[in-house]
Amino acid sequence: MNSQSNVKEVDGAVVVSEKRTQKAVSTPLFSKKKLKDAGLFTLFVGPVFLAFTLIVLIPFFSGVYYAFTDWNGITGSVQWVGLDNFKYLIFEDKQFHASFLLTTKYTIVAILLTNVIGFGLAILVTQMLKTRNILRTVFFMPNLLGGLLLGFIWQFIFVKGFASIGEITGIPLFELAWLGDASTAFWGIVIVSVWQGAGYIMIIYIAALQNVPQELIEAARIDGANRFQILRHITMPLVAPAVTICLFLTTASSFKIFDANLSLTNGGPFKSTEMLALNIYTEAFVNNRYGIGEAKALIFFLVVAAITVLQVTISKKREVES
């Protein structure tokens, strides 16, 4: 720091003023603190980002590239075909269209049933019941089983168990060929998926219901509101964020259903229950048309992304309105 003295005369008096000048202190571009923070950031985020790049990003962008090629997934020769795969899927592939429509139908049904049953179970186990903890465990347990294992278990139930019950009781419902007919096979997949997913959705709704202020419910009861009015005007608006989350989860999982479809029916009978994920798998790894399979997967990704973003946007707006 330098100082400069100036002598001035004001009204006959001599005034000495000292002017201090300070040199700018330059901060190094890479200080020890910045290097330490960057090192810690790299230490914690680096391995995760590397794994994410190897497992997600590289396969995703390589899949986008192969969607524009005519590759069988085996040979080393890859031929660029441009938009030919997408033209074939849009205008010629009838099975792709049928699988897309079936998956959309299944998604709508599964979303409604899973959320309604999950919310109903959440209301049940949040009541003052002595067995509510046991019921929570029982309802959540199917979610812990893998999809393939669960599908094979239910395949045995549909084929052997229901047939035995039908022979003993004579009830027509148990005498149906559940996995041998297109309509009943579809509902068989729905039953298994809802049975597996409702317990997980129930946990999310339980967390939301436990955060509803009991003072509001008690005040509404004092004012003469019945259970339905309390549920509609108090409970539902307060659990709206949980509804948004559950709709998002069920939408994504329903569109991507694969393991239950594969283990229960494998797309049969005659590809009448072949969902879109199974159709993509069959195209790429059974028919050895990897390029067309990747084109289907890219279209599938864009559609699911658009639908989930739209669903979340609409649900968030309704949260604000309510």
CATH of the domain at 289: 1.10.3720.10
What's residue 188's pLDDT? 94
How many structural domains does the chain have?
Answer: 1
- Separation of CA 196 from chain center: 15
What's residue 52's pLDDT? 94
Q: Which parts of the chain have pLDDT scores under 50?
A: 3, 5, 10, 13-16, 18-19, 21-24
- Domain-located, residue 47: no
Domain span holding position 183 = 84-321
Closest C-alpha among 144, 174, 138 to residue 159 = 174
- Domain-located, residue 195: yes
- Domain-located, residue 256: yes
Measured torsion, CA atoms of residues 261, 265, 270, 276, in degrees rounded to the nearest 10: 0
What's residue 39's pLDDT? 86
Q: Give the whole-angstrom CA distance, residue 234 versus residue 112.
A: 21
- Domain-located, residue 142: yes
Is 93 strand, coil or helix? coil
Work out the burial of residue 73: count CB atoms within 10 Å of its CB; fewer than 13 is exposed, 13-18 middle, 19 or more buried: middle
- Domain-located, residue 15: no
- Domain-located, residue 178: yes
- Domain-located, residue 70: no
pTM: 0.83
- Domain-located, residue 10: no
CB within 8 Å of 163: residues ≥ 6 apart: 174, 175
Q: Give the whole-angstrom CA distance, residue 307 versus residue 132.
A: 36
Closest C-alpha among 150, 239, 142, 263 to residue 197 = 142
Quick count: other Cβ atoms within 10 Å of Cβ 47? 10
86 token code pair: 């997408």
What's residue 10's pLDDT? 47
What's residue 320's pLDDT? 63
